Structure 1
């Protein structure tokens, strides 16, 4: 196909997605571009359910984790102040081992095992709406003495490394917000990076999530940090990425450095670089990243060889930006889309010991609360085709075996069991959090926010319960470490401990 025909096919694909956002619902924009500029912009839905103003490519949203590659570009630009091989403790001496020994590079490439701050707060019973500030959060992290796993041995998504490296740079007088405003201007983009949700941002449209019946305004209390603080329009994000593809001036060599292969401790190569993840489509390799804040979703996908890309931004929680971007890219390149696989048998599975569990429903595999679609791979294998959540599994008799996050696992079917009465009692953490277990349920919170959540036994001291927090539903694994000691485990935080009170 000619380039003109390619762009026409990609635009038609993008338009189908944009047109699915109705004019009485939150919406979004899909933008196609190359190194010379924007080739098309398709939009649908509205900026605000109060004004019903149509969503456009100029509507300002929160990019969320699409921020990460931009922050890594700032880190690379100040290699004289902080190096990728520096241990975090060199710049943040208050951190304790083993967190202090994680290198800056591993903190940014998702191999550091650093527990995600927001998920830690969830496991302490703090809502997504609870306001937190930068300094107390850093003090909280400085009290931690466990990683999710030994640095360099796995890949698991976490925002904490970005929070810590940002704090280190700020102590040296380097501020991310200054950087994105300056470099954004050089690219012809209007970008910002507010610290907290309630900071005013010019033109920012509200975000929404669907509670099952009605659209609700989104909100969040967590100090955002450079893991996800950037704001701007779809058009501005495209212009920023065009600058990276152009590889000139302040952007020269940056994209290549950000997307360079990152080795694990055993010499294996991760597909997650510095704020960018590799994606495969047919025989071609692409790079991109997604972002998710309550009420906002974003994604971009780049072909560095052809120097083209696609941006997706939206102010609605249910947008699948990856699907939109990859199908638009496939329409342009003519590559065949991967086929989702149902080769794994539906059910809940757990390892012989430890908190690691999966649930299979059709082509969706949930691992420690993180949902991933799996696709056909070689032979009887299935793969998530995700560098940030790598999964490669197959059936082995009744069991499921393979790798999750680059770690070898064998999952066995869960056999239904009773929750033992010995689990009952009051459990407390060193951070002052507490919950009760009574009649087979976890009870968290006080007064009108006191919730009773039934436990499901997985066997060998593991139990699951479901915690609903506004737009988020979290499936928590309670793992007994001893008669009077347990841990609560989510995909991004696997180290919050409680002890039996009294």
Structure 2
């Protein structure tokens, strides 16, 4: 059944977000489309600050994690080589437990507990700019013996499952880059999937981030993998998605809710995330690389959707797409909530912490908006970082990642003197604690970061890395062992130097 589609209202709603895309800044494109073609295209800003070329709907950018759904179509096209219920260890025998027993399906639907490779490298003190290659990264993952959580018990975003499944398929002689260039050409799209940042890509627009004073070119050293390697324009992504909407059987499999171990359903499928507006469900995904932001949102019922691409770090594609979809179908947008009391909170044990700032909730350094969910509850309304919480006296209770949580107000305490010293990782990394400071890095990259106590042997420190700022939790496991944790990697251990 086709709903009334108000494309004029959708375009007006989207246009309110293009104001920052001025003639002297990086820019972006917003496209609304159905099966008859592109219904509107809004473009602004520059494709390159060097050439002053205007950003258009044909400007080529990095799609980042928008790649994930396309990779899943690749996986599903090879049931003779790999299946969703296969264990990763069956295809990558060098993996150790418990990683080896994570299934392909859980590796792709964010319920596998696999530590995110990029955040794990951050916890070793490696910068976003540090170059890494696929073979060495696979060896690094093969040395891991801890998950973020037991597979199937939570949902938490991680890119590592896509990296591992891609490696498994490459060993069988099939490559995502070959697949996506051919599949894209089949629907008129020009798509590519370079392995590393420095690979050449035809007509690729530079990405930019703002230091607070000026725009700078973005860069990244991590081998990208099929978790986020695709490149293309807004028009090419639209052509690809129009074709995907016609492949209803494949789309249904990818968008279907995925069960956790206890039978509850997750809103994250195979590279597609559910978004609810009013009484309607939609599917889409976002992408973020340094200097690039992308997003798409589809309405399969009406075979239409929106694509947002940009070459600037500050674009909120999800907000743009949801505002346009709500206007298109005359649906309400969620209402921000301040029902949670502001402050820092921590679980009884472990590195899990929470900060409430107005209608923003930060969980293990991952920011989400809080929306009204009735009877004092708030919800993130996010399938990639699901959260439903409420106040219980001075505590916060509910679920994060579909797992039960109780958070208590953080209790600042003096930094224990016996925490000072040098701490070593089995991966060769190290840091020092000097009084109330953490010191990481060597030579000119050596930097000192104050510790903030949360109580119970948990401490936060802030790590600045180019366009990224990360708040890391240091959790004391015993007198001689601590762990560093971020939302996507919660298991990097360091031992006291003897």
- TM (norm. structure 1) is 0.98
Q: Does the 8 A contact of 2:459 with 2:475 survive in 1?
A: yes
2: CA distance between counterparts of 1:18 and 1:347? 33
2: CA distance between counterparts of 1:327 and 1:268? 29
Q: Render the CA deviation track for 1:319-359: whole Å, top value 9, x for unaligned.
A: 00000000000110000111111111110000111111000
Q: Does the 8 A contact of 1:206 with 1:218 survive in 2?
A: yes
Match of 2:466 in 1: 470
Match of 1:341 in 2: 337
Q: Does the 8 A contact of 2:3 with 2:329 survive in 1?
A: no
2: CA distance between counterparts of 1:254 and 1:210? 39
From 360, 364, 389, give the equivalent of 2:360: 364
Matches within 5 A, 1:394-405: 394-405=390-401
SS of residue paired to 1:366? strand
From 472, 486, 491, give the equivalent of 2:482: 486
2: CA distance between counterparts of 1:52 and 1:257? 43
Q: Does the 8 A contact of 1:36 with 1:242 survive in 2?
A: no
SS of residue paired to 1:224? coil
RMSD across aligned C-alpha pairs, in angstroms?
1.0
Matches within 5 A, 1:125-274: 125-247=125-247, 253-274=249-270
SS of residue paired to 1:216? strand
SS of residue paired to 1:140? helix
Unaligned runs of 5+ in 2: none
1: CA distance between counterparts of 2:487 and 2:442? 26
Q: 1:18 to 1:89 in 2, by over 3 A?
A: same
1: CA distance between counterparts of 2:325 and 2:143? 45
Q: 1:33 to 1:396 in 2, by over 3 A?
A: same
Count of matched residue pairs: 497
1:102 maps to 2:98: no
2: CA distance between counterparts of 1:475 and 1:442? 12
SS of residue paired to 2:245? helix
2: CA distance between counterparts of 1:468 and 1:170? 35
1: CA distance between counterparts of 2:322 and 2:21? 18
Q: Does the 8 A contact of 2:4 with 2:329 survive in 1?
A: no
2: CA distance between counterparts of 1:19 and 1:3? 30
2: CA distance between counterparts of 1:19 and 1:344? 32
2: CA distance between counterparts of 1:395 and 1:50? 51
Match of 1:417 in 2: 413
1: CA distance between counterparts of 2:299 and 2:5? 17
Q: Does the 8 A contact of 1:32 with 1:309 survive in 2?
A: yes
1: CA distance between counterparts of 2:388 and 2:5? 36
2: CA distance between counterparts of 1:289 and 1:53? 28
2: CA distance between counterparts of 1:134 and 1:423? 36
Give the C-alpha shift of residue 16 in structure 1.
2.3
2: CA distance between counterparts of 1:157 and 1:353? 22
2: CA distance between counterparts of 1:382 and 1:148? 25
Q: Render the CA deviation track for 1:411-458: whole Å, top value 9, x for unaligned.
A: 111122111111000000000000000021100001111010000111
1:496 maps to 2:496: no
1:377 maps to 2:373: yes
Q: Does the 8 A contact of 2:84 with 2:103 survive in 1?
A: yes
Match of 1:438 in 2: 434
Q: Write out the 4+ residue segments of structure 1 that deviate beyond 6 Å after TM superposition.
A: 2-5
2: CA distance between counterparts of 1:290 and 1:302? 12
Q: Does the 8 A contact of 1:66 with 1:289 survive in 2?
A: yes
1:393 maps to 2:394: no
1: CA distance between counterparts of 2:349 and 2:4? 56
Q: Does the 8 A contact of 2:3 with 2:302 survive in 1?
A: no
1:291 maps to 2:287: yes
From 324, 327, 334, give the equivalent of 2:320: 324
2: CA distance between counterparts of 1:359 and 1:318? 22
